[in-house]
A = this chain, B = another copy of it.
Amino acid sequence: MKKKILLSGFEAFGGLSTNPTMDIIARTRDWELPNVELHTIILPVVYDECADLLIKEIDKHNPDVVISLGVAVGRAAITPERIGINIQDTAGEGKSGDNRGFHPKDKPIDETGPVGLFSTLPIRKITEDLLEKGIPAQISNSAGTYICNNTLYSILHYIKRNELSIKAGFIHVPASPEMVTNKPQLPSMSIELQTEAVKTIIESIVQ
């Protein structure tokens, strides 16, 4: 039987016109994954909406696995996240808030939620499978305190609260080359290699 996978990316932010995760998702149309039924969605970079929209898709498709993708400018490798934490914070990072201008500081995502929730994706296997293919990868122990962490924590919390058997997690990808042409000291990864990485991750999970 086919595995149902829900794959999310994010819309552009920070004054850019695109986001590498949008480009990756656009290319999933070309994939042939015989054992996978793939659903995709692009989420808004808005604290209050990103998780809600993803949860709607979960309710609609009832997937086996949810993989959320986000870009981490400054990172050089594909980084499966280990943990989502119960905090929203854009202070002290020179960040200008989300795409609605919301600018939280040391604020819990859920006042009554647990401090942290572990990704339920096989992050070690994913990382090893990526490295075997020659794709730089490393487990990350912090998804930050911005929209990416917010999405990760919220989804894991929703699944836990509702005792669903869905596996879920978050994968950070590097900037695309286009994003760093005016900051040429920053690392990047081509969309082709990022796309291959995401395909590898899905195969790693399905196997």
Contacts of A144 in B (CB 8 A): 141
Beyond A189-B190, A192-B192, whether A181 also contacts B141 by CB under 8 A is no
State in angstroms the CA–CA spacing of A144 and B114 once bound together.
20
Contact call B116/A85, Cβ cutoff below 8 A: yes
CB distance from A1 to the nearest CB of B (A): 29
CB distance from A159 to the nearest CB of B (A): 14
CB distance from A51 to the nearest CB of B (A): 18
Of the candidates B76, B116, B182, B190, which one forms a contact with A114 in the assembled complex, judged by CB atoms under 8 Å apart? Answer: B116
Contact call A184/B137, Cβ cutoff below 8 A: yes
Asked if A198 CB lies within 8 Å of chain B CBs, one says no
Asked if A28 CB lies within 8 Å of chain B CBs, one says no
Beyond A85-B141, A190-B189, whether A124 also contacts B106 by CB under 8 A is yes
Asked if A87 CB lies within 8 Å of chain B CBs, one says yes
Asked if A117 CB lies within 8 Å of chain B CBs, one says yes
- Copies of this protein in the assembly total 4
Stretch in A5-13, A60-68, A127-135 touching the partner? A127-135
Of the candidates B115, B118, B137, B184, which one forms a contact with A181 in the assembled complex, judged by CB atoms under 8 Å apart? Answer: B137
* Interface size band for A: 35 or more
Beyond A115-B117, A117-B115, whether A190 also contacts B187 by CB under 8 A is no
Contacts of A36 in B (CB 8 A): none
CB distance from A78 to the nearest CB of B (A): 8
Of the candidates B85, B87, B106, B187, which one forms a contact with A188 in the assembled complex, judged by CB atoms under 8 Å apart? Answer: B187
Asked if A136 CB lies within 8 Å of chain B CBs, one says yes
Mark out the residues of chain A between 174 and 207 whose CB falls within 8 Å of any chain B CB in the assembled complex. 177-178, 180-182, 184-190, 192-193
Contact call A181/B145, Cβ cutoff below 8 A: no
State in angstroms the CA–CA spacing of A86 and B114 once bound together.
13
* Chain A residues with a Cβ under 8 A of chain B: 76-77, 79, 82-83, 85-87, 89, 91-92, 94, 105-106, 114-118, 124, 127, 131, 134-139, 141-142, 144-145, 177-178, 180-182, 184-190, 192-193
